[in-house]
Structure 1
Amino acid sequence: MQTWILITLGAAFLQNMRSVLQKHIKGRMGVTGATFVRFGFGVPFAAMFVALLAYGAGYPVPPLNTPFLIWVVVGGLAQITAQALLIQMFGHRNFAVGTAYSRTEPAQAALFGLIFVGDRIGIRTLIAIAVSLLGVMLISVARSPISPRALITSIFSRTAGLGIASGTAFGIAAVAYRAASLALGQPNFMMQAAVTLLTTIIFQTVIMLVFMAWKKPEEFARIRAAWKIAAMVGLVGATASFGWFMAMTLQTAAVVKALAQVEMIFTFASSVLIFREHINRLEIIGCILIVAGILVLLLT
C-alpha cells in the first residue's frame, strides 16, 4: 500500500479524535476559544516535529521562500474563513443542507488543484470522488427533516451557499498547503510538511490571538482553566495536520481529501460501538457509498 494512503488513514482517525475532544471543551469555552485551541496549542507540537526531523533524523531545515510564504498565507486565511463560514451556517435552521454542501471540498479541490498547481486526475478518480461525495451528503441530511430531493432543490438557498463557500475555502486551503510544501522543494516530504505546518499554525495563532484580544478577551481565562484538555486537542490536531500535509505533499489534494472521507466511517463506528447510537437507512447507504468510492479510488 502506498505511503500517502497509510498517512491519510491515520490522519483521518486522529481528526475524528480531535473533533471528539473539541466537542468536549466547547462547553467550557466559546466557539472562538475552541477554534483557537486547535491552532495555539498545536504550535509546540508542530515545532517538536521539525526539531525531531532536524536533530533526530538529521534532515536540513529548508530555507523559506516567497512562493512558500504566499501559499501559507493563502491557505491559513482560507482555512480560517472556512471555519467562520461553518460557524455562521450552524445558526441557520436547516444547517444540515449547508453541512452537506460543505463536503464538496474534494471536488472543488480537484478544480483548484488543476488551476493553481496543474494537478491532473483521471476519470475513474473523479467517479470515486463523486460516489463518496454523494455518500457524505446523504449522511449529512440523514437525521434532519431534509430529504435527499429537498437537498437538490435547496441548492440556491442561503444555507447551501454558505456550505458551498465553506467547501470552496477548504478546497483552496488544501491546494495552497500542497503548493506551499512543494515550493520548499527539499529535503523530503516529511520535513517539507513539518515546516509548512509550523509556519502555517504560527500564522493562524497570531491571527486568532489578535482577534480574541479585540473581540473576545474573556476567552483567555476560559482557555487557561481548560489547558489540560486543550493541550490534548493541540497534540492530536497538530499530528493530524502533519499527516494531511505529508499526504498532500505526496499526492494531489483532491485525492487525499476524497480518501479522507473515511473519517465519516470512523465517526459512525464510534457512535455505534461507544455511544450505542442507532444508525438509520440513509446513513447506512451513505456509508456504503463512501466505502465504494474509496475502493474505486484505491483500485485506481
Structure 2
Amino acid sequence: MEIWILITIAAAFVQNIRSGLQKHLREQMGTAGATFVRFGFGVPFAMAFLGFALLATDSELPVIESDFWGWIIVAALAQIGAQALLIMLFTMRNFAVGSAYIRVEPVLAAIFGFVLLFETPTLPLVTAVFVSVVGVMMITMAHAHVGIWSLASAVTKREAQVGLASAAMFGLAAVSFRGASLSLGGPNFLVQGGVTLCIAITLQAAIMASWIAIKDPADFKRIAIKWKTSLMVGFVGALASFGWFTAMTLEQAAAVKAVAQIEMLFAFATSYFVFKERMNKREIIGCLLIVCGVLVLALMS
C-alpha cells in the first residue's frame, strides 16, 4: 500500500476526533468561535510539525514563489467559504438532501484537478471515486425518505444547491492546496506539506479572528474559558491538515478525497462499538462500498 493512502487514512481518523471536539465546542461558543479554534490554536502545532519535518529530513525551507501565494489565498478562502455554506446547510429543513450532495466533493476535486492542474484521472481513480461517493451517499440517505436514485430530481432544491456549492468549494480548496504545495518544488513532501499548512492556517486564523472581532468580540472570552478543549482541537486539526497536505503533495486531490471517505467508517465504528447503535442495510452496503473504493486505489494505483 502506498504511503499517501496510509497518511490519508490516519488523517481521516484524526479528523473524526476533531469533528467530535468541535461539535462540543460549537454548543459552548457558537459556530464562529468553534471554527476559529481549529485554525488559531492550530498555528503553533503547525509550526512544530514543520520544524519536525525539517529536522527529520535534514532539509531547508523552500523558496516561496508568487505562484504559491495565488494558490494558497484561493485555497484558504475557498475552505472558509465551503465551511460557511456547510453551516448554512445545517439550518435548512431537508438537511439530508444537501448533505448527500456534499459527498460528491471527490468528483468535483477531480474536475478542478483536470482544469487547474491538467491532471488526467486514471481509470482506477474514476472507479474508486464513483464507488466511494455512492457508498457515502447511501449512508447519508439511509434514514431519509428520498432514495439514492431520486436525488437527481432534487437538484433544483435550494438545500441541494447549497450542498453542491459547498462541495465545489471544498474541492477547489483541496486542489488549490495541492497546487500550492507542488509549486514549492521541494525539498520533499513532508516539508512542502508543512510549509503549506503553516501559511494557510495562519492566514485562516487571521481572517476568522478579524471576523469575530467585528461581529462578536465576546466570542474571544468564551474561547478563553474553553482553552483546554480548544487547544486539543487545534492540535488534532493541525495534525489532520498536515496529513491531508502531505498526501495531496504525493497524489491527486481527488484520490486523497476518495480515500478520506473512510472517515465515515470511523464514525460508524464509534457509533456501533461505543454507543451500541445498530446499522441498517443501506448503511452496511454504503460502508462496504467505501472499503471497495479504497481497495481499488490501494491495489490498482
Same fold per superposition (TM over 0.5) = yes
> CA–CA distance in 2 between the matches of 1:28 and 1:221?
11
> CA–CA distance in 2 between the matches of 1:89 and 1:10?
28
Task: State the secondary structure of the residue aligned to 2:28.
Answer: coil
> CA–CA distance in 2 between the matches of 1:253 and 1:124?
14
What residue is the counterpart of 1:164 in the other structure? 164
How large is the RMSD of aligned CA atoms in angstroms?
Answer: 1.2
**1:193 partner amino acid:** G
Contiguous gaps of at least 5 residues in structure 2: none
Moved more, 137-146 or 10-19: 137-146
What residue is the counterpart of 1:141 in the other structure? 141
What residue is the counterpart of 1:205 in the other structure? 205
Deviation of 1:56 after TM superposition, in Å, equals 5.3
What residue is the counterpart of 1:12 in the other structure? 12
Deviation of 1:53 after TM superposition, in Å, equals 2.6
- Describe the superposition over 1:149-202 as per-residue Cα deviations: whole angstroms up to 9, x where unpaired: 442321111100000000100000000000000000111110000000000000
> CA–CA distance in 2 between the matches of 1:255 and 1:5?
9
Q: Does 2:118 align with 1:118?
A: yes
Deviation of 1:58 after TM superposition, in Å, equals 2.6
Contiguous gaps of at least 5 residues in structure 1: none
Deviation of 1:295 after TM superposition, in Å, equals 1.7
Q: Are 2:97 and 2:159, in contact at CA under 8 Å, matched by a contact in 1? A: yes
- Describe the superposition over 1:185-233 as per-residue Cα deviations: whole angstroms up to 9, x where unpaired: 1111100000000000000001001100011212111100100011001
- Segments of 4+ moved more than 4 angstroms: none
**1:41 partner amino acid:** F
Deviation of 1:57 after TM superposition, in Å, equals 4.2
Q: Are 2:154 and 2:160, in contact at CA under 8 Å, matched by a contact in 1? A: yes
Deviation of 1:2 after TM superposition, in Å, equals 1.0
> CA–CA distance in 1 between the matches of 2:298 and 2:265?
16
Q: Does 2:89 align with 1:93?
A: no
Q: Does 2:185 align with 1:189?
A: no
Q: Are 2:41 and 2:230, in contact at CA under 8 Å, matched by a contact in 1? A: yes
Provide TM-score, normalisation by structure 2. 0.97
What residue is the counterpart of 1:265 in the other structure? 265
Deviation of 1:63 after TM superposition, in Å, equals 1.9
Moved more, 17-26 or 73-82: 17-26
**2:37 partner amino acid:** V
Task: State the secondary structure of the residue aligned to 2:61.
Answer: coil
> CA–CA distance in 2 between the matches of 1:256 and 1:130?
13
Deviation of 1:143 after TM superposition, in Å, equals 2.3
Deviation of 1:127 after TM superposition, in Å, equals 1.8
> CA–CA distance in 1 between the matches of 2:206 and 2:125?
38
Counting matched residue pairs gives: 300
- Describe the superposition over 1:277-296 as per-residue Cα deviations: whole angstroms up to 9, x where unpaired: 12122111211111122222
**1:195 partner amino acid:** V
Task: State the secondary structure of the residue aligned to 1:156.
Answer: coil
Identity of aligned residues (%): 51
> CA–CA distance in 2 between the matches of 1:286 and 1:54?
40
> CA–CA distance in 2 between the matches of 1:227 and 1:143?
36
Task: State the secondary structure of the residue aligned to 1:119.
Answer: coil
What residue is the counterpart of 2:241 in the other structure? 241
- Describe the superposition over 1:246-266 as per-residue Cα deviations: whole angstroms up to 9, x where unpaired: 000000000110011111111
Change (3 A) 1:55 1:148: closer
Change (3 A) 1:149 1:126: closer
Matches within 5 A, 1:35-74: 35-55=35-55, 57-74=57-74
Q: Does 2:88 align with 1:79?
A: no
- Describe the superposition over 1:27-46 as per-residue Cα deviations: whole angstroms up to 9, x where unpaired: 21101111111111100000
**1:228 partner amino acid:** K
